[in-house]
Structure 1
């Protein structure tokens, strides 16, 4: 029987990109639901802050400075986790390229080095985290891997082709892991994320752009990191034991409708106004 109050009790989790945004929200939610959490990322200060928040709330957390572009750093970080906690049950592979995104534009003007860096972080880094986590998951009798995907990986767009292509590739990586290790108890899934309004986005995204995105959502609000963390935490738990090799879309319905959805709503409103 699963303890629904603490469905991750006695689980050990690793969250990459855990210092901010979705990673921070997920690390905190894992801890609230009973897991011991290793919070990994590039910059020590935010990792320490997240770990301190978890400990202050009564949980256990370990900050790990880890560059996912370095296999040695990943191996060392996961070894540190294993030395401290003795096992690993959950990997949330969330680290992604978020800097220099102004370079992620037209393919004909794409800087190859930027393309390679994006793949190194988003795709190669995710593969390497899984590579070094899987032996520990197997030793624990199985476990759950959750990759942070993106709606940018489901369809073409005018911007972010490097980012979007890596997120599309994560779908394939996850299915291969699910297929190769499923009979040994390892599940692998992708949470396909729509716009999640972090504090930075709240500050920097123009109100008009937020309104436009809301118009295309099928719910009446934009998502928050905590909304994504809820889905990740479910996939990490035994409550989702029959789900693997899947892509769970958490985007408020943004990618599920006709491309002219918002335009047709405006057209219908104009037509109704004319008839009145």
Structure 2
């Protein structure tokens, strides 16, 4: 019988981009539900605080300096996780290019350097993490791979074309991983994330834009990292064993409605006020 309060008991996870935001929240939630957790980032020393939080929850944590644009670094980080904890059950590929997002604007102004940097981190890095995690999962007979996607990957927009295109690519990558390795009990899914108030996003998105996004959410609030961590923890557990090759949208309903939803709300409110 699975202890539903600790559905990840005995499992080992590695989370790329685990030092802040969604990665940090997911690391803590995995730990609270029984998993041993390795977190990665470019600077190992910056991860120490999250490891302390994991250990305070009664689990074991491991900080690994990893550059997801470097295959050797990824291979070494995953190998270190397996050497430390004995196996690997869960990969949450969460690292993303979030710095210098002002460069990610009009296609006609896009530099090849920024475009390639976004792909190297967001898409190629996720492929390489899966490449080096899958053999360990096959060896033990099961595994769950979770990619952090974005609503930017579902539709065109006026900004972030490089970021959005990489996130669209993750949808295809997850389906290929699920198809190629499903019979070996490896699952792969994408969490399509809406606006979540992480530190990085708060720094890059003006308050006026945040207000516009909230207006289009069907729930009366913006998401938090814990909202996404809940979905990741479910996909990491055996409770989701029949879900693979799927895209789980966690965006407060942002992509579920007509594109003129907020405008029509204002129009109807004005009409009602006039009739009164």
TM-score, normalising length: structure 1: 0.97
SS in 1 for 2:91: strand
Query: 2:75 matched to which residue of 1?
Result: 75
**Residue pair 2:148, 2:192 contacting (<8 A) in 1 also:** yes
SS in 1 for 2:209: helix
Cα distance change of structure 1 residues 97 and 204 upon mapping to structure 2, 3 Å threshold: closer
Query: 1:260 matched to which residue of 2?
Result: 260
1:130 aligns with 2:130: yes
**Residue pair 2:20, 2:199 contacting (<8 A) in 1 also:** no
Query: 1:63 matched to which residue of 2?
Result: 63
User: What is the CA–CA distance in structure 2 between the aligned matches of 1:206 and 1:178, rounded to whole Å?
Assistant: 37
Query: 2:96 matched to which residue of 1?
Result: 96
User: What is the CA–CA distance in structure 2 between the aligned matches of 1:38 and 1:98, rounded to whole Å?
Assistant: 21
Query: 1:186 matched to which residue of 2?
Result: 186
User: What is the CA–CA distance in structure 1 between the aligned matches of 2:113 and 2:17, rounded to whole Å?
Assistant: 22
Cα distance change of structure 1 residues 219 and 129 upon mapping to structure 2, 3 Å threshold: same
Alignment of 1:8-157 (within 5 A): 8-157=8-157
List per-residue Cα deviations over 1:89-130 (Å, max 9, x = no partner).
Answer: 000000010111111111111100110111001111000000
Shift of 1:21: 0.4
Query: 2:158 matched to which residue of 1?
Result: 158
Shift of 1:212: 1.5
SS in 2 for 1:108: helix
SS in 2 for 1:227: helix
Query: 1:233 matched to which residue of 2?
Result: 233
RMSD: 1.1
User: What is the CA–CA distance in structure 1 between the aligned matches of 2:176 and 2:69, rounded to whole Å?
Assistant: 21
- In structure 1, the gaps of 5 or more residues are none
User: What is the CA–CA distance in structure 2 between the aligned matches of 1:67 and 1:155, rounded to whole Å?
Assistant: 29
List per-residue Cα deviations over 1:247-275 (Å, max 9, x = no partner).
Answer: 00000000111110000000000000000
List per-residue Cα deviations over 1:186-227 (Å, max 9, x = no partner).
Answer: 000000000001245456644433222111000000000000
- In structure 2, the gaps of 5 or more residues are none
SS in 1 for 2:222: coil
List per-residue Cα deviations over 1:140-180 (Å, max 9, x = no partner).
Answer: 21110000000000000001000000000000000000000
**Residue pair 2:150, 2:192 contacting (<8 A) in 1 also:** yes
User: What is the CA–CA distance in structure 2 between the aligned matches of 1:205 and 1:99, rounded to whole Å?
Assistant: 12
User: What is the CA–CA distance in structure 2 between the aligned matches of 1:100 and 1:53, rounded to whole Å?
Assistant: 29
User: What is the CA–CA distance in structure 2 between the aligned matches of 1:157 and 1:12, rounded to whole Å?
Assistant: 37
SS in 1 for 2:125: helix
Shift of 1:53: 1.1
User: What is the CA–CA distance in structure 2 between the aligned matches of 1:256 and 1:193, rounded to whole Å?
Assistant: 13
User: What is the CA–CA distance in structure 2 between the aligned matches of 1:176 and 1:108, rounded to whole Å?
Assistant: 31
List per-residue Cα deviations over 1:28-84 (Å, max 9, x = no partner).
Answer: 000000000000111223311100111122111000000000010011111111111
TM-score, normalising length: structure 2: 0.97
